[in-house]
Amino acid sequence: MVGGWCEAAGDRIILSGSAFWAEHTVRWNLFAACATVHGAIPFYRLLMLLFLKDCVKLGCILCLLHQNFKAGVGATNIFMEKGRVDDVERVELPVLVNEKIDRLLETTSRSFYPTLKYLPKKTRGQIGLLYLLARVADTIADSKVGETTLLTEHLRAYNDVVQGRREELPDLSELADIQTNEHEAELLRNVSDVVDGLQVYSPEDQERMLECLEIIVGGQLLDIERFGPANEGGNISALQSEEELDDYTFRVAGCVGVFWTKMSLAHLMKLSPEDEALFMERGIRFGKALQMINILRDIPEDLRFGRCYIPESSLKSIGLKPEDLLNDEHLDTFRPLYNRYLDLTNEHLEAATAYIRMIPETQFRLKASCMLPVLVGQRTVTLLREGNILNSDERIKVTRDEMKTYARRLLRALLIPGGVKRLLEKNRDK
């Protein structure tokens, strides 16, 4: 023990509430923990351990840090699982669906999987499974084959099986063999396991997942019809209007905001009917914001595969054609239109921050899982506003080091009164 403040108890460490509070008031940056298990670890890493490893009394941490605790502090204990937290060790999640599906989820989602660490247990598995179901559809739709008909047939057949309209999955082995990403190939070879994962959940949650997937697949089918297979070279096709762009962002991401909101209201929080409608509207805009960032960041790559999500009518209004975006000499002409889309994205992100403020303070994990993509999104918009977004060699993205910094800031902000609002305002694109 260090300072007599913590003791080992089987597979847990018991940390008295008085010790936690005393250390918090004396020294923010460093917390002395059980030497045989942790050594002395930075305070933010202790918080990560408590937070990511399912502290069974997480509420008392908020109580300790958000209230002026006077009496009875010593009776409060905080339990955390043993383990190391450092920059190189992977933090294990509890099983979401089963070990095989969890592994598929981890290997196919470098950016989304870390967000799952923050989600409450009641919704974590359903959201993770929906991601995999949608990722299967996305992998089918983006397969680089020459026939549009083959992709649409496979995509419709897959969705029909998931929706219960058909019993036999299509044979995806040939598509798996041509994938350049080995993890996506493995996903296509194990589709039946992903689909069977639906049976773990209640009929109501299955209905929410299937409703969202139906909309996503509908958007992917429209994409294939508009643009054809994702093959390099050839002609470039573009969305025709702002209405098509808005519809696209809803189909591939706004509908996920609907699903996320329905899951939260069903399992985690209650709002009045009026606030539910506002929460839903903001959830849709949350999803649209993240998809707009994808579109605005990936213009060179999309153009390489014959796809332009900047509406042709808007390009025409500034004297450009989709093909002109292949040459960054047109950047100055394109920039004012591009900045308007960044402004629209910021408006959606403002709706996302309002969405976060509607989440009760007691829903610590839910707030965190929503905040991280907003923080990364805000930073990405700033980088896009400054960078050469038509240069295919200049890949604009938030670095891993920045992601780690945001994780640390996020955990601190969630534990400090007013911290969430200050962090989001400080980080926003100016």
Tens digit of each residue's pLDDT (9 = 90 or more) over 381-410: 999 999 999 998 888 888 888 888 888 888
DSSP percent split of the chain into helix, strand, coil, nearest 5: 65, 5, 30
Tokens coding 213: 């997937």
Whose structure tokens read 């597979």?
A: 11
Does any domain span residue 1?
no
Do residues 368 and 414 share a domain? yes
Q: Rounded distance, CA 229 to CA 207, Å?
A: 30
By the 8 A CB rule, do 296 and 345 touch? yes
Does any domain span residue 393?
yes
Q: Rounded distance, CA 208 to CA 198, Å?
A: 11
Amino acid in position 30: L
Does any domain span residue 89?
no
Averaged over 100-115, what is the pLDDT? Answer: 78
Whose structure tokens read 């929410």?
A: 208
- In three-state secondary structure terms, 30 is strand
Task: From 178, 205, 231, give the residue that closes a domain.
Answer: 231
Does any domain span residue 90?
no
First to last CA, the chain: 48
Q: Give the residues across from 32 on adjacent strands.
A: 40
Do residues 347 and 390 share a domain? yes
- In three-state secondary structure terms, 77 is strand
Does any domain span residue 384?
yes
Residue with the larger pLDDT of the pair 50 and 252: 252
Domain at 425, CATH number: 1.10.600.10
Do residues 221 and 370 share a domain? no
Do residues 160 and 204 share a domain? yes
pLDDT in tens, 20-34: 433 333 333 333 333
Query: Looking at residue 383, what is its pLDDT?
Result: 94
Min mean pLDDT across 82-86, 108-112, 248-252, 332-336 is at: 82-86
The residue range of the domain holding 257 is 236-430
Query: Looking at residue 31, what is its pLDDT?
Result: 34
Cβ neighbours for 379, distance < 8 A, ≥ 6 positions apart: 398, 402, 406, 427
Does any domain span residue 391?
yes
Query: Looking at residue 97, what is its pLDDT?
Result: 67
- The answer on pLDDT for 12 being more than 70 is no
Task: From 231, 264, 281, give the residue that closes a domain.
Answer: 231
Asked whether the CA dihedral 246, 249, 251, 254 is positive or negative, the reply is: negative
Do residues 315 and 413 share a domain? yes
Q: Rounded distance, CA 158 to CA 124, Å?
A: 24
Cβ neighbours for 73, distance < 8 A, ≥ 6 positions apart: 17, 18, 21, 64
Do residues 255 and 397 share a domain? yes
Residue with the larger pLDDT of the pair 95 and 90: 95
Q: How many CA atoms lie within 13 A of 71 on its CB side?
A: 0
Do residues 265 and 400 share a domain? yes
Whose structure tokens read 């689909």?
A: 195
Do residues 321 and 194 share a domain? no
Do residues 140 and 198 share a domain? yes
Amino acid in position 49: L
By the 8 A CB rule, do 292 and 348 touch? yes
- In three-state secondary structure terms, 271 is coil
Does any domain span residue 86?
no
Q: Centre a 10 Å sphere on the Cβ of residue 172 and count the other Cβ atoms it contains.
A: 23
Query: Looking at residue 410, what is its pLDDT?
Result: 83
By the 8 A CB rule, do 162 and 195 touch? yes
Do residues 416 and 313 share a domain? yes
By the 8 A CB rule, do 118 and 50 touch? no
Q: Give the confidence band of 323 by pLDDT, cuts at 50, 70, 90.
A: very high
Task: Identify each DSSP E strand in 188-287 by its residue range.
Answer: 237-238
Task: Tell me which residue of 196, 97, 107, 179 sits closest to 138, measured CA to CA.
Answer: 179
- The answer on pLDDT for 225 being more than 60 is yes
Task: Identify each DSSP E strand in 184-224 by its residue range.
Answer: none
Residue 301: C-alpha distances to residues 55, 98, 233, 395 (Å): 42, 35, 11, 10
By the 8 A CB rule, do 259 and 209 touch? yes
Q: How many domains does the chain have?
A: 3
Task: Identify each DSSP E strand in 241-339 by its residue range.
Answer: 307-308
Residue 31 DSSP label? E
- In three-state secondary structure terms, 430 is coil
Q: Give the confidence band of 361 by pLDDT, cuts at 50, 70, 90.
A: confident
Does any domain span residue 87?
no
Task: From 231, 247, 281, give the residue that closes a domain.
Answer: 231
Q: Rounded distance, CA 152 to CA 170, Å?
A: 12
| Mean model confidence pLDDT for the chain | 79
Cβ neighbours for 132, distance < 8 A, ≥ 6 positions apart: 101, 104, 105, 108, 187, 194, 197
Do residues 342 and 403 share a domain? yes
Do residues 259 and 342 share a domain? yes
By the 8 A CB rule, do 358 and 407 touch? no
